[in-house]
Structure 1
Amino acid sequence: MQHVRRPVNRSRIRFRIAFAALGGVAASALLAVAMSPALAAFTASIANSANGAGSGTISLQETSGSAVCNSTDGGSISVNSATCTSINKYGGDMTMVPGQSVATSVTLTNTGTSPVSVFTLTPGACTQSANGTVNGSATDFCSKLQLAVVSGTTTLFSGTAEQFAARSSSPVALTVPLAAGASQTYTFTVTLDSAAGNTYQGLKAAQSMTWTASS
């Protein structure tokens, strides 16, 4: 039986040779990488381990003579509000006569750790009442009680106690900033009007005030 020789597919042979050669190159490259030593590099680093932040405090201390009041007297720093009855900024003289003046100085200190950027004095209503058992018939004693509030050479308020009460909606702005540990002194001078007649005898006035400091 006679065999017929098929023609050789030269394209297929060339493809197989090229594929085999490519496989050999890839294998050689992988082997070279596997056998080569590890690559070295220059490096630098900084680790910050002390990053943090915290809150400061704002607290007030008021002193006059031996009397001391602190904003924390009403509780902890969480409350930071107190009522002080040991300091009378009007002097507490209950025997004044027309034309007489009484001056009282108080010192406010920022006992906190943060600076005060808003500092105000807010007056309350001025109320009149009897002083003793013998009393005049006047009903406007607060309008006869003159008041001046001074800090250094700056007059912060000058008028009557009645007019001062009207500042409840527009508090007196005080000097800022008040740094931690810093102090300011304020002098309150009250004068009974020299024109006050007999109807103003045996009377007294009372007026609250609130110091407010904030960051």
Structure 2
Amino acid sequence: MSDSYKPARKRRGVALPVVIAGGLSSLLLAFSLTPTFSALTAAITNSANTAGTGTLVMTETSSDMGTTCTSGATGSATCSTINKFGGNTASSGYMALKPGGSVTSTVTIKNSGTVDASTFTMGGGTCTMSTNGTVNGSATQAQLCGKFNLVITAGGTSVYTGTAAAFAGTTTTIGSGVTAGSTVTIVVKITLDSSADATYQGLAITQPITWTFGA
């Protein structure tokens, strides 16, 4: 009887530490899953974090013609009501130049947006020829465009001097940009060369000029 009793006692001695160890593990796990709370807290929520886009808008105004054009919401526009090679009607003389005759036009270009323009450029378009009346000379388009001389100033500084033919395809940087709200005065003088003869009569040129702000 004593021999069968001892093994059972031994088994109970081994099982007890295992039970105790399992219980401690469960207790530690329970403590680890229990949320902790702080008696003091401090917090700030920034509820008004906003950002927006500025505007870069060009406004051109002709004091000679009382006309204003704006680049608008799309960022570009074509303005056919400001003629920088003369007036707004033939009676102003821009379509009746004689050799050595000239016409001067003045416009202002304003940065009417909210951001500064870091660059301001002027681009000369293609010079094309058309007839102007019933009596027309035999000069070619290239010859006619070469007989019209341009002098363009911006803010009192010369930015182009040369023929309409040479002006085509050029891009000129004007100053170092235009700050928001600032205005630049542009003066364009066009002269029919004094060497023009009867072969240049009854003809006209058209040449676009593109002004561009960059930011």
Q: CA offsets per residue over residues 120-139 of structure 1, 9 Å max, x none?
A: 11111101121101011111
Aligned counterpart for 2:149 among listed residues 146, 151, 155: 146
Q: CA offsets per residue over residues 30-55 of structure 1, 9 Å max, x none?
A: xxxxxxxxx99887654433222111
Q: CA offsets per residue over residues 43-68 of structure 1, 9 Å max, x none?
A: 76544332221111111111002101
Aligned match of 2:13: none
1:157 CA drift (Å): 0.5
Give the secondary structure class of the aligned counterpart of 1:204. strand
Whole-Å Cα distance in 2 between the matches of residues 134 and 200 of structure 1? 10
Give the secondary structure class of the aligned counterpart of 1:162. helix
1:211 CA drift (Å): 1.4
Give the secondary structure class of the aligned counterpart of 1:125. coil
| 1:185 and 2:185 are equivalent in the alignment | yes
| 1:81 and 2:81 are equivalent in the alignment | no
Match runs of 1:6-45 below 5 Å: none
Give the secondary structure class of the aligned counterpart of 1:128. strand
Aligned match of 1:125: 126
Runs of 4+ in 1 over 6 A off after TM superposition: 39-43
Aligned match of 1:58: 56
% of aligned pairs identical?
Answer: 47
Q: CA offsets per residue over residues 64-122 of structure 1, 9 Å max, x none?
A: 021011112xxxx1x23221111000004111111112110111111211111122111
Whole-Å Cα distance in 2 between the matches of residues 163 and 40 of structure 1? 80
Aligned match of 2:14: none
Aligned match of 1:134: 135
Whole-Å Cα distance in 1 between the matches of residues 70 and 47 of structure 2? 38
**What RMSD in Å do the two structures reach over aligned CA positions?**
3.1
Q: Which runs of 5+ in 2 are unaligned?
A: 1-36, 88-93
Q: Closer, same or farther in 2 for the Cα pair 1:46/1:128, shift >3 Å?
A: same
Task: Name which one, 1 or 2, has greater alpha-carbon Rg.
Answer: 1
1:178 CA drift (Å): 1.2
| Corresponding letter in the other structure for 2:157 | T
| 1:164 and 2:164 are equivalent in the alignment | no
Q: Which runs of 5+ in 1 are unaligned?
A: 1-38
Q: Closer, same or farther in 2 for the Cα pair 1:40/1:137, shift >3 Å?
A: closer
Aligned match of 2:3: none
After alignment, is 51-60 or 172-181 more displaced? 172-181
Give the secondary structure class of the aligned counterpart of 2:194. coil
Aligned match of 2:12: none
| 1:112 and 2:113 are equivalent in the alignment | yes
Give the secondary structure class of the aligned counterpart of 2:99. coil
What is the number of equivalent residue pairs in this alignment? 196
